[in-house]
Amino acid sequence: MKRDIIAGNWKMNKTNAETKELIKELAPLVKDAKCEVVVCVPFTDLDTARRAIRGTNIKLGAQNVHWAPKGAYTGEISAEMLKELKVEYVIIGHSERRQYFGETDASVNARTKAAINAGLKAIVCVGELLEEREAGKTAEVVVRQVNGALQGIDKSGLKKIVIAYEPVWAIGTGRTATAKDANDTIAIIRKAVRKLYGKTAARALRIQYGGSMNAKNASELMAMPEIDGGLIGGASLKAEDFAKVVNY
């Protein structure tokens, strides 16, 4: 059986000292979690987080990875560098990477391949802009992004992937898709995966909701049949808030 996954995306927040303190506070609050718990911290906090989660049920994640194993790519981090720090998960194609740093479906695909080929697990993000949603293009956009991200990846590679549906209009805005809307869109994503890999693989794939899930709406969202977890932004920066989501 697949296990729900709640991952915290800290984005560009927390120093090393703050990382150590937050994980120390979080660990006892989530020790009995039924779901998989992941913290995706800034690159500079990875080693501190690695040490802090020892002996806990918390997994370590990074927020990006480059497609090349090494080279003249100033500011980038390779999969092998992440593996050396015992990173297990990596977020790829987050809407903020697409919006501010020029990520495309092609670059998301290349980064995803690099991650899974190195033995990392990829949290691949897809989601539509507000204008795309209002134009009725949600299905078109997420299917295109899914097909682009998974191009050239076989069934064994798919087993190392989690997809996060994050409607861009609901990230950091306080707006949230209704539970039904989120469930319906994730069903569209799963259908796209089914066309590529078959019914069994699509059913086994974990698909998170990533649009402002928090302590107040987590239970309702997680009760939906298509939703297998959450990619949590702001609510992951406070131990008590994140624990409430984890223990939905």
Just list the catalytic residues: 94, 166
Instruction: For residue 207, list its beta bridge partners.
Output: 163
Fill in the DSSP letter of residue 83: H
Q: Which of 187, 203, 83, 196 is nearest to 149 (CA)?
A: 196
User: Under 8 Å CB-to-CB from 210, ≥6 apart: which residues?
Assistant: 9, 125, 127, 164, 165, 166, 171, 230, 231, 232, 233
Between strands 229-232 and 5-9, the pairing is parallel
Q: How far apart are CA 49 and CA 36, in angstroms?
A: 17
Q: What is the DSSP string of 38-62?
A: EEE--GGGHHHHHHHTTTSSEEEEE
